[in-house]
Amino acid sequence: MPIGLYVHLPFCRVHCTYCPFAVSTDIRLQDRYTGALLAEVDARSDGDRVVDSIFFGGGTPSRTSRENLARIVARLRERFAIDDDAEFSLEANPEDVTDDAVAFWRALGVNRLSIGVQSFHDDELRPLGRVHGRVQALEAVRIAAASGIRTSLDLILGLPRQTEASFLETLETAITTGAGHVSLYMLDLEEGTALVRQIEGGRVSLPDDDLVASLYTAAIDRFAEAGFAQYEISNFARPGQECRHNLRYWRREQYLAFGIGAHSFVGDRRFANTRDIHQYIAGEREPVFAEVLGEGEVRRETIFLELRQAAGIHYDDVVRLCGEEGIEWMERGLIDGWLRRVGNRVAFTPSGFLLSNDYISRLF
Ligand code: SF4
């Protein structure tokens, strides 16, 4: 079976107030970081693994220098058998997207750009600490779409200062940009982030939960009308524009991941690298986390990942994995309206997606 490759490029101009990812604002480290990353690629590759998806995520991969991106791509091509039609995604922030940059990334083999727009409103972007504003975001998406590269936008719902009108305007703008894919995430409040401290200190307030819930279901309807099918809880695509690499995560397919904080899934083992960039540069390769899932955990994970997808899970699989309790659970969900039937499968309804973790936890 082909595998996927994830490369974590952690450098960002600023550390956004809501961001819990493994990032560094010290761009002077990038050459040494790239050297350590190449050493990790050498150590983990085993010859001829066939690769059908690559994802450069971060951090802000578009902030990594062209020289270093080229070094990494060359090493991956040396060490793995990369399919000619492999999907190759790169995350970019709007301020980095120029005609010239897109041409360079395409020449490297990148064929899908994921742009971190988050919102098209300056007064929502500012509290997040984002570097870009509406004008730059529009220009970035215009450049990407005009170049013909597959383009995806990231948006966030539930932002400080976001209103019904502002969110719906962001949504309409995203739909009309020419992008073929949109990821719509709920704002995730992670302990320890600057945004959480601002909220706790009363300096920032968030939109009401009921409003956020109704905007999420409205977005699903609007995307559908505009020809974007929901294929996962947070992901919407025009036909053929689904992200193959992300589907791999939800289908429990294998991937190797390189760089700080990167999580791999190989054989039946999951493991993660250190998040400490200095340790990583010094050659630390010992996983900070490793596990082989037992039968019960595989069962739970399979159900959880399949139900994240709009295609849901086969009725027989719920019965096989959960027995009688699974049947009762599906019947309750269909009666109460948080599940729907899709042929011989069951899937969450839009309102079911909003509380999917709670509903799934009732199964175990
Ligand atoms: S640009 Fe992205 S990865 Fe970097 S700090 Fe901001 S949210 Fe985090």
Please work out whether the CB of residue 15 comes within 6 Å of at least one atom of ligand 1: yes
Provide mean pLDDT across the span 220-227. 98
Mutation test residue for ligand 1: of 16, 62, 156, 195, the one with most atoms within 8 Å of CB: 16
Most informative mutation of 19, 64, 126, 153 for ligand 1 (most atoms within 8 A of CB): 19
Report whether residue 58 contacts ligand 1, using a CB cutoff of 6 Å: yes
Quick check: bond before 333 cis, omega within 30? no
Q: Which domains does the chain have, with CATH numbers?
A: 3-249 (3.20.20.70), 300-364 (no CATH)
Instruction: Give residue 47's pLDDT.
Output: 73
- C-alpha 28 to ligand 1 mean position (Å): 17
- Whole-angstrom CA distances from 54 to 43, 83, 245, 271, 350 are 18, 10, 7, 18, 30
Return the ligand 1 atom nearest residue 130 CA.
6
**Position 296 confidence tier, pLDDT thresholds 50, 70, 90:** confident
Answer yes or no: is the C-beta of 93 below 6 A from any ligand 1 atom. yes
Query: Which residues on adjacent β-strands are paired with residue 115?
Result: 92, 153
Q: Please tell me the distance between residue 45's alpha carbon and the centre of ligand 1 in angstroms.
A: 28
Going from the Cα of 322 to the center of ligand 1, the distance in angstroms, rounded, reads 39
Residue in this structure with the two tokens 């360079």, named with its chain if needed: 104
Residue in the structure block whose two tokens are 């995806």: 152
Ligand 1 pocket check for 174: Cβ under 6 Å: no
Nearest to 56 by CA among 111, 6, 116: 6
Three-state DSSP class for residue 41: helix
Q: Would the pLDDT of 236 be above 90?
A: yes
Distance (Å) of CA 221 to CA 80, 294, 349, 355? 41, 39, 12, 18
Whether 117 lines ligand 1, by a CB cut-off of 6 Å, is no
Q: Mean pLDDT across the chain, nearest whole number?
A: 96
Q: Which tens digits make up the pLDDT trace of 8-46?
A: 999 999 999 999 999 999 999 999 999 999 999 999 997
Is the minimum distance from the CB of 246 to ligand 1 under 6 angstroms?
Answer: no
- If you take atom 6 of ligand 1, which residue's CA is the nearest one? 16
Strand pairing partners for 265? 255, 270
Residue 98 to residue 92: CA distance in whole angstroms: 11
Q: How far is the CA of 131 from the centre of ligand 1 (A)?
A: 10
Q: Is the CB of 207 under 6 A from ligand 1?
A: no
Rounded to the nearest whole angstrom, what is the distance from the C-alpha of residue 14 to the centroid of ligand 1?
A: 7
Give the C-alpha separation, 131 to 95, whole Å: 7
Strands 255-258 and 3-9: parallel
Apex 137 CA angle, 136 and 138, nearest 5: 90
Structure tokens at 357: 């973790």
Query: Which of 14, 17, 23 to mutate for ligand 1's pocket (most ligand atoms within 8 Å of CB)?
Result: 23
Q: What percent of the chain has pLDDT over 90?
A: 92
pLDDT number for residue 46: 76
**pLDDT 10s digits, 92-106:** 999 999 999 999 999
State residue 339 phi and psi, 5-degree precision: -120, 155
Residue range 204-217, pLDDT digits in tens: 889 999 999 999 99
Least confident of 44-53, 245-254, 310-319: 44-53
185 close to ligand 1 (CB < 6 Angstrom)? no
Kindly state if the Cβ of 127 falls inside 6 Å of ligand 1. no
CB of 59 closer than 6 A to ligand 1? yes
In sequence order, the β-bridge partners of residue 346 are 313, 341
Q: How many CB atoms lie within 10 A of CB 84?
A: 6
Please tell me the distance between residue 19's alpha carbon and the centre of ligand 1 in angstroms.
6
Mean pLDDT over 352-361 rounds to: 94
- CB contact at 8 A, 64 and 93: no
Q: Look up the pTM and report it.
A: 0.96
pLDDT of residue 232: 97
